[in-house]
Structure 1
Amino acid sequence: MNEEGPIIRFTGVTKVYPLPAGDVVALDHVSLDVMPGEFLAIMGPSGSGKSTLLNLMGCLDTPTSGTLFIKGKDVGTLSDDELTRLRRDHIGFIFQQFNLIPLLNVIENVEFPRILKEREGGCTERCLEVLAAVGLEEELFSHTPAELSGGQQQRVAIARALINDPEILLADEPTGNLDTKTGTGIMELLDEMNRRGRTVIMVTHDQNVAAYARRRITIVDGRIA
Protein backbone atom coordinates (compact mmCIF):
# COMPACT_ATOMS: atom_id res chain seq x y z
CA MET A 1 0.00 0.00 0.00
CA ASN A 2 1.56 3.29 -1.03
CA GLU A 3 1.64 6.60 0.79
CA GLU A 4 -1.22 7.92 -1.35
CA GLY A 5 -3.50 5.15 -0.08
CA PRO A 6 -5.46 5.01 3.18
CA ILE A 7 -3.53 5.72 6.38
CA ILE A 8 -5.89 3.21 8.07
CA ARG A 9 -7.68 0.35 6.30
CA PHE A 10 -10.02 -2.24 7.80
CA THR A 11 -10.83 -5.20 5.54
CA GLY A 12 -13.52 -7.52 6.91
CA VAL A 13 -12.38 -6.97 10.51
CA THR A 14 -14.16 -8.89 13.26
CA LYS A 15 -13.38 -8.56 16.97
CA VAL A 16 -14.74 -11.17 19.36
CA TYR A 17 -14.36 -11.05 23.15
CA PRO A 18 -14.74 -14.53 24.68
CA LEU A 19 -16.69 -14.38 27.96
CA PRO A 20 -17.92 -17.16 30.27
CA ALA A 21 -21.54 -16.39 29.34
CA GLY A 22 -20.71 -16.57 25.62
CA ASP A 23 -18.71 -14.75 23.00
CA VAL A 24 -19.40 -11.06 22.44
CA VAL A 25 -18.97 -9.86 18.85
CA ALA A 26 -17.84 -6.24 19.25
CA LEU A 27 -17.10 -5.69 15.54
CA ASP A 28 -18.65 -7.73 12.75
CA HIS A 29 -16.86 -7.77 9.35
CA VAL A 30 -16.05 -4.05 9.28
CA SER A 31 -14.41 -2.59 6.17
CA LEU A 32 -13.33 1.06 6.31
CA ASP A 33 -10.73 3.33 4.73
CA VAL A 34 -9.44 6.48 6.44
CA MET A 35 -7.40 8.77 4.21
CA PRO A 36 -4.45 10.88 5.43
CA GLY A 37 -5.61 14.26 6.76
CA GLU A 38 -9.22 13.19 7.31
CA PHE A 39 -11.33 14.34 10.27
CA LEU A 40 -13.66 11.42 10.99
CA ALA A 41 -16.38 11.11 13.65
CA ILE A 42 -17.51 7.66 14.77
CA MET A 43 -21.02 7.66 16.22
CA GLY A 44 -23.47 5.05 17.47
CA PRO A 45 -25.30 3.85 20.58
CA SER A 46 -23.52 2.68 23.71
CA GLY A 47 -22.02 -0.78 23.26
CA SER A 48 -22.15 -0.59 19.46
CA GLY A 49 -18.39 -1.13 18.98
CA LYS A 50 -17.15 2.47 18.67
CA SER A 51 -14.44 2.22 21.31
CA THR A 52 -13.36 -1.20 20.05
CA LEU A 53 -12.88 0.31 16.58
CA LEU A 54 -10.79 3.15 18.06
CA ASN A 55 -8.72 0.76 20.19
CA LEU A 56 -7.89 -1.30 17.10
CA MET A 57 -6.84 1.87 15.25
CA GLY A 58 -4.61 2.74 18.20
CA CYS A 59 -2.96 -0.71 18.27
CA LEU A 60 -4.29 -1.18 21.80
CA ASP A 61 -5.98 -4.33 20.54
CA THR A 62 -5.77 -6.63 17.50
CA PRO A 63 -8.51 -8.09 15.25
CA THR A 64 -9.86 -11.59 15.82
CA SER A 65 -10.15 -11.96 12.04
CA GLY A 66 -9.88 -9.79 8.94
CA THR A 67 -7.00 -7.44 8.14
CA LEU A 68 -6.10 -4.05 9.59
CA PHE A 69 -3.48 -1.91 7.88
CA ILE A 70 -2.00 1.19 9.56
CA LYS A 71 0.38 3.23 7.43
CA GLY A 72 0.47 0.32 5.00
CA LYS A 73 1.49 -2.24 7.64
CA ASP A 74 -0.63 -5.28 8.41
CA VAL A 75 -0.84 -5.05 12.21
CA GLY A 76 -1.54 -8.78 12.43
CA THR A 77 2.00 -9.51 11.22
CA LEU A 78 3.75 -7.14 13.65
CA SER A 79 5.55 -8.23 16.81
CA ASP A 80 4.68 -6.65 20.17
CA ASP A 81 7.77 -4.43 19.86
CA GLU A 82 6.77 -3.32 16.35
CA LEU A 83 3.22 -2.56 17.52
CA THR A 84 4.63 -0.54 20.42
CA ARG A 85 6.83 1.50 18.06
CA LEU A 86 3.94 2.10 15.64
CA ARG A 87 1.72 3.26 18.50
CA ARG A 88 4.45 5.38 20.12
CA ASP A 89 5.80 7.07 16.99
CA HIS A 90 2.73 7.58 14.81
CA ILE A 91 -0.41 7.59 16.98
CA GLY A 92 -1.63 9.99 19.68
CA PHE A 93 -4.48 8.77 21.91
CA ILE A 94 -6.73 11.16 23.85
CA PHE A 95 -8.74 9.25 26.44
CA GLN A 96 -12.10 10.32 27.89
CA GLN A 97 -10.81 9.77 31.45
CA PHE A 98 -7.56 11.64 30.61
CA ASN A 99 -5.38 8.76 31.99
CA LEU A 100 -2.79 11.18 33.36
CA ILE A 101 -0.27 9.81 35.86
CA PRO A 102 -1.39 11.12 39.29
CA LEU A 103 2.09 11.45 40.85
CA LEU A 104 3.57 13.40 37.93
CA ASN A 105 3.15 17.11 37.31
CA VAL A 106 2.01 18.63 34.01
CA ILE A 107 5.47 18.80 32.45
CA GLU A 108 6.34 15.24 33.53
CA ASN A 109 3.03 13.86 32.18
CA VAL A 110 3.53 15.55 28.82
CA GLU A 111 7.16 14.50 28.39
CA PHE A 112 6.56 10.90 29.49
CA PRO A 113 5.95 9.48 25.96
CA ARG A 114 9.02 11.42 24.78
CA ILE A 115 11.15 9.77 27.47
CA LEU A 116 9.89 6.34 26.36
CA LYS A 117 10.93 7.19 22.80
CA GLU A 118 14.15 9.16 23.30
CA ARG A 119 15.26 7.64 26.64
CA GLU A 120 16.05 11.06 28.07
CA GLY A 121 14.16 13.49 30.30
CA GLY A 122 14.11 17.22 30.85
CA CYS A 123 11.55 19.72 29.60
CA THR A 124 12.42 20.06 25.95
CA GLU A 125 11.48 22.88 23.61
CA ARG A 126 8.99 20.45 22.05
CA CYS A 127 7.33 19.99 25.45
CA LEU A 128 6.84 23.75 25.85
CA GLU A 129 5.66 23.99 22.25
CA VAL A 130 2.79 21.51 22.66
CA LEU A 131 1.74 23.03 25.99
CA ALA A 132 1.60 26.44 24.27
CA ALA A 133 -0.41 24.86 21.44
CA VAL A 134 -3.08 23.64 23.86
CA GLY A 135 -3.18 26.99 25.68
CA LEU A 136 -2.18 25.85 29.16
CA GLU A 137 -0.87 28.57 31.48
CA GLU A 138 2.75 28.30 32.58
CA GLU A 139 1.91 28.62 36.28
CA LEU A 140 0.11 25.24 36.04
CA PHE A 141 3.16 23.34 34.76
CA SER A 142 4.23 22.22 38.25
CA HIS A 143 0.72 21.07 39.25
CA THR A 144 -0.37 17.44 39.47
CA PRO A 145 -3.60 16.29 37.75
CA ALA A 146 -5.57 16.48 41.03
CA GLU A 147 -4.82 20.22 41.17
CA LEU A 148 -6.27 20.88 37.69
CA SER A 149 -9.82 21.30 36.39
CA GLY A 150 -11.26 18.76 33.94
CA GLY A 151 -10.64 21.10 31.02
CA GLN A 152 -7.03 21.69 32.07
CA GLN A 153 -6.47 17.93 32.46
CA GLN A 154 -7.85 17.35 28.96
CA ARG A 155 -5.46 19.97 27.56
CA VAL A 156 -2.54 18.20 29.25
CA ALA A 157 -3.79 14.90 27.81
CA ILE A 158 -3.87 16.42 24.31
CA ALA A 159 -0.39 17.93 24.76
CA ARG A 160 0.86 14.47 25.80
CA ALA A 161 -0.79 12.96 22.70
CA LEU A 162 1.00 15.53 20.52
CA ILE A 163 4.49 15.33 22.04
CA ASN A 164 5.82 12.75 19.56
CA ASP A 165 4.21 14.60 16.62
CA PRO A 166 1.88 11.75 15.58
CA GLU A 167 0.25 11.66 12.15
CA ILE A 168 -2.87 10.07 13.64
CA LEU A 169 -4.83 11.54 16.58
CA LEU A 170 -7.45 9.29 18.16
CA ALA A 171 -9.93 10.84 20.61
CA ASP A 172 -12.45 8.88 22.70
CA GLU A 173 -15.30 11.24 23.70
CA PRO A 174 -12.84 14.17 23.97
CA THR A 175 -15.48 16.51 25.45
CA GLY A 176 -17.44 13.92 27.44
CA ASN A 177 -16.43 15.19 30.89
CA LEU A 178 -16.31 18.90 30.07
CA ASP A 179 -18.69 21.86 30.18
CA THR A 180 -19.87 23.30 26.86
CA LYS A 181 -17.45 26.24 26.73
CA THR A 182 -14.40 24.10 27.58
CA GLY A 183 -15.56 21.40 25.18
CA THR A 184 -15.81 23.94 22.37
CA GLY A 185 -12.24 25.06 23.08
CA ILE A 186 -11.01 21.44 22.90
CA MET A 187 -12.83 20.84 19.60
CA GLU A 188 -11.39 24.01 18.07
CA LEU A 189 -7.96 22.75 19.10
CA LEU A 190 -8.55 19.36 17.41
CA ASP A 191 -9.88 21.18 14.34
CA GLU A 192 -6.68 23.23 14.21
CA MET A 193 -4.57 20.07 14.48
CA ASN A 194 -6.50 18.60 11.56
CA ARG A 195 -5.95 21.76 9.50
CA ARG A 196 -2.23 21.29 10.12
CA GLY A 197 -2.44 17.93 8.39
CA ARG A 198 -3.06 15.44 11.16
CA THR A 199 -5.58 12.66 10.67
CA VAL A 200 -8.14 13.04 13.49
CA ILE A 201 -10.57 10.26 14.39
CA MET A 202 -12.93 10.67 17.32
CA VAL A 203 -15.67 8.71 18.99
CA THR A 204 -18.58 10.89 20.11
CA HIS A 205 -22.28 10.65 20.90
CA ASP A 206 -22.70 14.45 20.60
CA GLN A 207 -24.04 15.75 17.26
CA ASN A 208 -22.54 19.20 17.92
CA VAL A 209 -19.09 17.69 18.43
CA ALA A 210 -19.49 15.44 15.38
CA ALA A 211 -20.23 18.55 13.29
CA TYR A 212 -16.52 19.45 13.45
CA ALA A 213 -15.67 16.32 11.46
CA ARG A 214 -15.59 16.28 7.65
CA ARG A 215 -17.05 12.75 7.59
CA ARG A 216 -19.18 10.72 9.97
CA ILE A 217 -19.85 7.02 10.23
CA THR A 218 -22.35 5.28 12.50
CA ILE A 219 -21.79 1.89 14.06
CA VAL A 220 -24.74 -0.25 15.16
CA ASP A 221 -24.30 -3.76 16.60
CA GLY A 222 -20.67 -3.91 15.48
CA ARG A 223 -21.38 -2.95 11.88
CA ILE A 224 -21.10 0.30 9.96
CA ALA A 225 -24.70 1.34 9.30
Structure 2
Amino acid sequence: MSDEPLLRFEAVSKVYPLPAGDVVALDRVSLTVDAGEFIAVMGPSGSGKSTLLHLMGCLDVPTGGKISLSGQDISGMSDDDLTGLRRDRIGFIFQQFNLIPLLSAVENVEFPLTLTIGREESRRRAIEVMRAVHLDDALFTHRPAELSGGEQQRVAIARALVNNPDLLLCDEPTGNLDRKTGTAIMEILEAENREGKTVIVVTHDPEVATYARRTIRIVDGKVV
Protein backbone atom coordinates (compact mmCIF):
# COMPACT_ATOMS: atom_id res chain seq x y z
CA MET A 1 0.00 0.00 0.00
CA SER A 2 1.27 3.41 -0.91
CA ASP A 3 0.49 4.95 2.48
CA GLU A 4 2.65 2.41 4.31
CA PRO A 5 6.01 3.67 5.59
CA LEU A 6 9.07 2.09 4.01
CA LEU A 7 10.14 0.78 7.43
CA ARG A 8 8.18 0.28 10.62
CA PHE A 9 9.57 -0.91 13.96
CA GLU A 10 6.99 -1.91 16.57
CA ALA A 11 8.38 -2.49 20.08
CA VAL A 12 11.51 -4.10 18.61
CA SER A 13 14.05 -5.54 21.03
CA LYS A 14 17.37 -7.26 20.42
CA VAL A 15 18.99 -9.22 23.25
CA TYR A 16 22.36 -10.96 23.01
CA PRO A 17 22.69 -13.79 25.56
CA LEU A 18 26.19 -13.87 27.07
CA PRO A 19 27.66 -16.00 29.87
CA ALA A 20 27.94 -12.96 32.14
CA GLY A 21 24.30 -12.04 31.51
CA ASP A 22 22.04 -10.88 28.69
CA VAL A 23 22.98 -7.70 26.84
CA VAL A 24 19.98 -5.64 25.71
CA ALA A 25 21.16 -3.91 22.52
CA LEU A 26 17.71 -2.52 21.62
CA ASP A 27 14.88 -2.07 24.08
CA ARG A 28 11.33 -1.93 22.66
CA VAL A 29 12.14 0.55 19.88
CA SER A 30 9.23 1.89 17.82
CA LEU A 31 9.77 4.15 14.80
CA THR A 32 8.81 4.66 11.17
CA VAL A 33 10.85 5.64 8.13
CA ASP A 34 9.06 7.05 5.09
CA ALA A 35 10.28 6.53 1.54
CA GLY A 36 12.63 9.31 0.43
CA GLU A 37 13.80 10.34 3.91
CA PHE A 38 17.42 11.16 4.80
CA ILE A 39 17.94 10.18 8.43
CA ALA A 40 20.95 10.33 10.75
CA VAL A 41 21.16 7.88 13.65
CA MET A 42 23.26 9.25 16.50
CA GLY A 43 24.20 8.16 19.99
CA PRO A 44 27.18 7.21 22.15
CA SER A 45 29.30 4.13 21.49
CA GLY A 46 27.46 0.96 22.47
CA SER A 47 24.05 2.65 22.40
CA GLY A 48 22.59 0.29 19.79
CA LYS A 49 23.09 2.31 16.59
CA SER A 50 24.70 -0.45 14.55
CA THR A 51 22.25 -3.05 15.88
CA LEU A 52 19.40 -0.82 14.71
CA LEU A 53 20.99 -0.52 11.27
CA HIS A 54 21.56 -4.28 11.01
CA LEU A 55 17.91 -4.94 11.81
CA MET A 56 16.79 -2.33 9.28
CA GLY A 57 18.94 -4.06 6.67
CA CYS A 58 17.74 -7.61 7.44
CA LEU A 59 21.28 -8.57 8.51
CA ASP A 60 19.86 -9.67 11.86
CA VAL A 61 16.47 -10.60 13.29
CA PRO A 62 14.81 -9.12 16.39
CA THR A 63 14.42 -10.95 19.67
CA GLY A 64 11.00 -9.38 20.11
CA GLY A 65 8.63 -7.01 18.34
CA LYS A 66 7.82 -6.61 14.66
CA ILE A 67 9.68 -5.08 11.70
CA SER A 68 7.84 -4.31 8.46
CA LEU A 69 9.28 -3.28 5.10
CA SER A 70 6.67 -1.62 2.86
CA GLY A 71 3.99 -3.24 5.00
CA GLN A 72 5.49 -6.74 4.80
CA ASP A 73 6.41 -8.36 8.12
CA ILE A 74 10.07 -9.39 7.85
CA SER A 75 10.46 -10.59 11.44
CA GLY A 76 9.70 -14.22 10.67
CA MET A 77 11.14 -14.49 7.16
CA SER A 78 13.45 -17.35 6.21
CA ASP A 79 17.15 -16.72 5.63
CA ASP A 80 16.66 -17.20 1.87
CA ASP A 81 13.84 -14.65 1.75
CA LEU A 82 15.88 -12.15 3.78
CA THR A 83 18.85 -12.66 1.43
CA GLY A 84 16.63 -11.90 -1.55
CA LEU A 85 15.25 -8.81 0.16
CA ARG A 86 18.77 -7.49 0.88
CA ARG A 87 19.88 -8.20 -2.69
CA ASP A 88 16.90 -6.54 -4.36
CA ARG A 89 15.99 -3.61 -2.11
CA ILE A 90 18.82 -2.64 0.24
CA GLY A 91 22.31 -1.19 -0.30
CA PHE A 92 24.98 -1.19 2.43
CA ILE A 93 27.95 1.12 2.92
CA PHE A 94 30.39 0.44 5.77
CA GLN A 95 33.20 2.35 7.47
CA GLN A 96 35.70 -0.40 6.57
CA PHE A 97 34.57 -0.49 2.89
CA ASN A 98 34.33 -4.34 2.95
CA LEU A 99 35.67 -4.71 -0.59
CA ILE A 100 36.94 -8.07 -1.87
CA PRO A 101 40.77 -7.68 -2.02
CA LEU A 102 41.39 -10.02 -4.96
CA LEU A 103 38.80 -8.39 -7.25
CA SER A 104 39.31 -5.21 -9.24
CA ALA A 105 37.18 -2.15 -8.50
CA VAL A 106 34.75 -2.87 -11.33
CA GLU A 107 34.55 -6.57 -10.37
CA ASN A 108 33.69 -5.55 -6.78
CA VAL A 109 30.90 -3.31 -8.04
CA GLU A 110 29.39 -5.84 -10.45
CA PHE A 111 29.66 -8.71 -7.94
CA PRO A 112 26.09 -8.30 -6.51
CA LEU A 113 24.68 -8.54 -10.05
CA THR A 114 26.49 -11.68 -11.15
CA LEU A 115 23.78 -13.99 -9.80
CA THR A 116 20.89 -12.12 -11.39
CA ILE A 117 21.91 -10.80 -14.82
CA GLY A 118 24.43 -11.62 -17.55
CA ARG A 119 28.08 -10.61 -17.50
CA GLU A 120 27.78 -8.02 -20.22
CA GLU A 121 24.83 -6.24 -18.61
CA SER A 122 26.38 -6.39 -15.13
CA ARG A 123 29.61 -4.80 -16.43
CA ARG A 124 27.65 -2.05 -18.24
CA ARG A 125 25.66 -1.25 -15.10
CA ALA A 126 28.78 -1.32 -12.87
CA ILE A 127 30.61 1.17 -15.12
CA GLU A 128 27.53 3.41 -15.18
CA VAL A 129 27.32 3.70 -11.38
CA MET A 130 31.10 4.04 -10.96
CA ARG A 131 31.06 7.05 -13.25
CA ALA A 132 28.03 8.40 -11.37
CA VAL A 133 30.07 8.48 -8.13
CA HIS A 134 32.93 10.24 -9.95
CA LEU A 135 35.44 7.39 -10.13
CA ASP A 136 38.02 7.82 -12.87
CA ASP A 137 37.87 5.13 -15.57
CA ALA A 138 41.60 4.51 -15.07
CA LEU A 139 40.87 3.14 -11.59
CA PHE A 140 38.32 0.52 -12.69
CA THR A 141 40.92 -2.26 -13.02
CA HIS A 142 42.76 -1.42 -9.79
CA ARG A 143 42.42 -3.66 -6.77
CA PRO A 144 41.31 -2.10 -3.45
CA ALA A 145 44.88 -1.97 -2.04
CA GLU A 146 45.88 0.26 -4.98
CA LEU A 147 43.16 2.82 -4.18
CA SER A 148 42.98 5.62 -1.62
CA GLY A 149 40.43 5.48 1.19
CA GLY A 150 38.15 7.89 -0.62
CA GLU A 151 38.39 5.90 -3.84
CA GLN A 152 37.63 2.68 -1.98
CA GLN A 153 34.56 4.26 -0.41
CA ARG A 154 33.35 5.43 -3.84
CA VAL A 155 33.71 1.84 -5.07
CA ALA A 156 31.74 0.67 -2.03
CA ILE A 157 29.01 3.22 -2.74
CA ALA A 158 28.85 2.16 -6.39
CA ARG A 159 28.51 -1.47 -5.27
CA ALA A 160 25.68 -0.46 -2.92
CA LEU A 161 23.90 1.38 -5.76
CA VAL A 162 24.38 -1.15 -8.55
CA ASN A 163 21.11 -2.99 -7.77
CA ASN A 164 19.21 0.32 -7.62
CA PRO A 165 18.00 -0.29 -4.03
CA ASP A 166 15.12 1.52 -2.33
CA LEU A 167 17.05 1.86 0.92
CA LEU A 168 20.68 2.88 1.44
CA LEU A 169 22.11 2.03 4.88
CA CYS A 170 25.42 3.63 5.82
CA ASP A 171 27.41 2.75 8.96
CA GLU A 172 29.92 5.55 9.69
CA PRO A 173 30.59 5.99 5.93
CA THR A 174 33.10 8.82 6.48
CA GLY A 175 34.73 7.42 9.63
CA ASN A 176 38.00 6.45 7.93
CA LEU A 177 38.23 9.48 5.64
CA ASP A 178 39.66 12.97 5.93
CA ARG A 179 37.23 15.87 6.14
CA LYS A 180 37.40 16.89 2.47
CA THR A 181 36.90 13.35 1.21
CA GLY A 182 34.13 12.74 3.76
CA THR A 183 32.31 15.83 2.50
CA ALA A 184 32.53 14.54 -1.07
CA ILE A 185 31.09 11.18 0.02
CA MET A 186 28.20 12.85 1.86
CA GLU A 187 27.45 14.96 -1.22
CA ILE A 188 27.11 11.74 -3.25
CA LEU A 189 24.67 10.35 -0.66
CA GLU A 190 22.76 13.64 -0.68
CA ALA A 191 22.47 13.46 -4.48
CA GLU A 192 21.16 9.89 -4.27
CA ASN A 193 18.56 11.04 -1.77
CA ARG A 194 17.45 13.80 -4.14
CA GLU A 195 16.99 11.09 -6.77
CA GLY A 196 14.52 9.36 -4.45
CA LYS A 197 16.64 6.93 -2.44
CA THR A 198 15.91 6.57 1.26
CA VAL A 199 19.22 7.13 3.08
CA ILE A 200 19.96 6.24 6.72
CA VAL A 201 23.39 7.12 8.10
CA VAL A 202 24.75 5.99 11.46
CA THR A 203 27.29 8.59 12.58
CA HIS A 204 28.95 10.13 15.62
CA ASP A 205 29.87 13.23 13.58
CA PRO A 206 27.48 16.20 13.99
CA GLU A 207 28.70 17.61 10.67
CA VAL A 208 27.67 14.44 8.84
CA ALA A 209 24.28 14.61 10.58
CA THR A 210 23.63 18.06 9.10
CA TYR A 211 23.03 16.40 5.72
CA ALA A 212 20.04 14.54 7.16
CA ARG A 213 16.57 16.01 7.43
CA ARG A 214 15.78 14.04 10.58
CA THR A 215 17.92 12.68 13.40
CA ILE A 216 17.09 9.60 15.47
CA ARG A 217 18.92 9.64 18.80
CA ILE A 218 19.51 6.38 20.59
CA VAL A 219 20.83 5.90 24.13
CA ASP A 220 21.09 2.58 26.01
CA GLY A 221 19.07 0.81 23.33
CA LYS A 222 16.17 3.27 23.46
CA VAL A 223 15.14 6.03 21.06
CA VAL A 224 15.13 9.31 23.00
Equivalent runs, 1:1-225 vs 2, <5 Å: 2-118=1-117, 120-122=118-120, 124-225=123-224
Contact map agreement 1:44 1:205 (CA 8 A) in 2: yes
Q: After TM superposition, give the deviation of residue 28 of structure 1 in Å.
A: 0.1
Identical-pair percentage: 65
Q: 1:5 Cα deviation (Å)? A: 1.6
Given that 1:28 and 1:223 are in contact with CA atoms closer than 8 Å, whether structure 2 keeps it comes out as yes
Counterpart of 1:220, as a letter, is V
The 2-side partners of 1:116 and 1:204 are apart by: 32
Contact 1:88–1:117 at 8 Å: present in 2 too?
no
TM-score (norm: length of structure 1): 0.97
Secondary structure of the equivalent of 2:27? Answer: strand
Q: CA deviation at 1:129?
A: 1.1
Shift of residue 79, structure 1, vs aligned partner: 1.4
What SS does structure 2 have at the residue aligned with 1:159?
Answer: helix
| DSSP 3-state at the match of 2:155 | helix
Task: Provide the rounded CA distance (Å) in 1 between the counterparts of 2:149 and 2:14.
Answer: 32
| In 1, Cα distance between equivalents of 2:34 and 2:155 | 27
| Aligned residue type for 1:37 | G
Q: Which secondary structure state, in structure 1, belongs to the residue aligned with residue 101 of structure 2?
A: coil
Greater mean alpha carbon deviation, residues 137-146 or residues 72-81: 72-81
Q: Give ranges in structure 1 of 5+ residues lacking alignment.
A: none
Q: Aligned-pair distance for 1:3?
A: 2.4
Aligned amino acid, residue 223 of structure 2: I
- Name structure 2 gaps, 5 residues minimum: none
**1:38·1:199 contact (CA, 8 Å) conserved in 2?**
yes
Shift of 1:48: 0.1
Tell me the distance in 2 between the aligned counterparts of 1:206 and 1:132.
28
Report the residue type matching 2:209 in the other structure.
Answer: A
Scaled by the length of structure 2, the TM-score of the pair is 0.97
Number of corresponding residues:
223
Does structure 1 retain, via aligned residues, the 8 Å contact 2:12–2:62?
A: yes
Distance 1:76 1:217 in 2: 22
Q: Aligned partners of 1:151 and 1:36: how far apart in 2?
A: 28
C-alpha distance in structure 2 between counterparts of 1:13 and 1:185, whole Å: 34
